Amino acid sequence: MSPERHDAWLENGASGRHRTALVTGCAGFIGSHLTESLLGDGIRVLGVDCFNDNYGRAQKLRNLEEARSWEHFEFIPLDLSRGDLEDLVAEADVVFHLAAEPGVRASWGRRFESYLRNNLAATQHLLEATKACPGQRFVYASSSSVYGQAEGLPTSESAVCRPFSPYGVTKHSAEQMCMLYHGNFDVQAVALRLFSVYGPRQRPDMAFRRFSHAILNDDPIRVFGDGEQTRDFTFVSDVVDAFRAAATGAGLAGQVYNIGGGHQVSVNAALELLGEYAGRAPRVEYLTVQHGDVASTAADTTRARADLGFEPLVQFPEGLRLELDWVREQPQLDRVESGVAER
């Protein structure tokens, strides 16, 4: 965030108190980075997380270690799909809604109920509380999964959304819910469609986290498909900058924005680069393509660059090295099996 945006946000707060941000999913991968960024700029953060079972509590607690050292951080363990949110939301000047049930492949079958509750019902519940706070910005973490098998690359926000997984359906539905509350109740909602976010603290089930563990342990890396599928990889600090910009810019309510790093890289190319960094060739096993996986993603970020001043700064080789270095430093107890991964 530029100094001008930061100063303007702080000056708009009530005299004598910190500006306050509510961050849902604050113990997660992106949420913990966003929380630390806000705290570092003197912004009070109310952090919400329910520690659901999509990955271990130990890592989520480690993600919060830095935030907990700040006096103006308050952690609230809470399930957003239940309970009274009005008083909590009323304390905040902006809501960053990142809490969600993640993962394409896990969203089939019986677990779909968790996706409905944590992605759709929780978002609607939070929006209900937000509509009582006129002028409050609501920034929603959507996903490139809303596009499914995109008809054209790079994909613009005007493309038809055809989710290709139950996860994508719930993210698209929650995004639409944000726009409904904007249109009907003037909730100042902005949705960011995130493309393949990576970096330190990435979830244990995600590709680069698993690939890094595997190559450091000289274990086999299992890849669905032939490895030539591509993703638009986006480093986590660039995503944080986008959230911060979406919280402050004028005229953004009711808009959706693609947030991509501009690095459309194949899985095989990424594995080759990891091999160079680790000093050993990856041992890759190729498996059948799974239901819900798409061939390629690429974000047209023209609108985000114009309206948010979005400019991704971390180049892919640098970001991948940073993630590998972080994985190398993790406690042995946190090592995951190299298995298959989400992307």
pLDDT value of position 139: 98
pLDDT value of position 73: 98
Query: What is the rounded distance in angstroms from the CA atom of residue 268 to the CA atom of residue 284?
Result: 9
pLDDT tens digit string along 71-109?
999 999 999 998 789 999 999 999 999 999 998 988 999
- Would you state the structure tokens that stand for residue 163, as one six-digit string? 């989710």
State the residue for tokens 């919060």.
Answer: 64
Per-residue pLDDT of the chain in tens (343 residues, 90 and over written 9) = 443 444 455 444 443 456 999 999 999 999 999 999 999 999 999 999 988 777 778 889 999 999 999 999 999 999 999 878 999 999 999 999 999 999 898 899 988 999 999 999 999 999 999 999 999 999 999 999 999 999 899 999 999 999 999 999 999 999 999 999 999 999 999 999 999 999 999 999 999 999 999 999 999 999 999 999 999 999 999 999 999 999 999 999 999 999 999 989 999 999 999 999 999 999 999 999 988 889 999 999 999 999 999 999 999 999 999 999 999 998 753 444 444 445 4
All residues at 6 or more sequence positions from 303 whose CB lies less than 8 Å from its CB, including other chains: 156, 157, 255, 257, 258
pLDDT value of position 17: 53
- Domain assignment present for residue 125? The answer is yes
pLDDT value of position 339: 41
DSSP structure string for 27-45: TSHHHHHHHHHHHHTT-EE
Task: Identify any residues that bridge with 257 across adjacent strands, giving them in sequence order.
Answer: 192
- Domain assignment present for residue 226? The answer is no
Query: Is residue 277 among the annotated active site residues?
Result: no
pLDDT value of position 57: 85
pLDDT value of position 342: 53
Query: Beta strand 197-198 with 188-194: parallel, antiparallel or unpaired?
Result: unpaired
pLDDT tens digit string along 39-69?
999 999 999 998 877 777 888 999 999 999 9
- Domain assignment present for residue 317? The answer is no
- The chain-wide mean pLDDT, for the chain, equals 91
Query: What is the rounded distance in angstroms from the CA atom of residue 37 to the CA atom of residue 293?
Result: 32
- Domain assignment present for residue 281? The answer is no
- Domain assignment present for residue 208? The answer is no
Angle at which helix 316-329 crosses helix 267-278, to 10 degrees, equals 60
What CATH number should be reported for the domain holding residue 81?
3.40.50.720
Point out the catalytic residue in the list 140, 167, 198, 257. 167
Element (H, E) at 166: helix 166-185
- Domain assignment present for residue 294? The answer is no
**Domain extent at residue 253:** 3-195+235-259
Question: Residue 141's closest CA among 36, 24, 263?
Answer: 24
Edge-to-edge strand list for the sheet holding 188-194:
73-77, 44-49, 20-24, 94-97, 137-143, 188-194, 255-259
- Domain assignment present for residue 98? The answer is yes
**Total tally of structural domains belonging to the chain:** 1
- Domain assignment present for residue 250? The answer is yes
Distance between start and end Cα atoms, the chain: 27
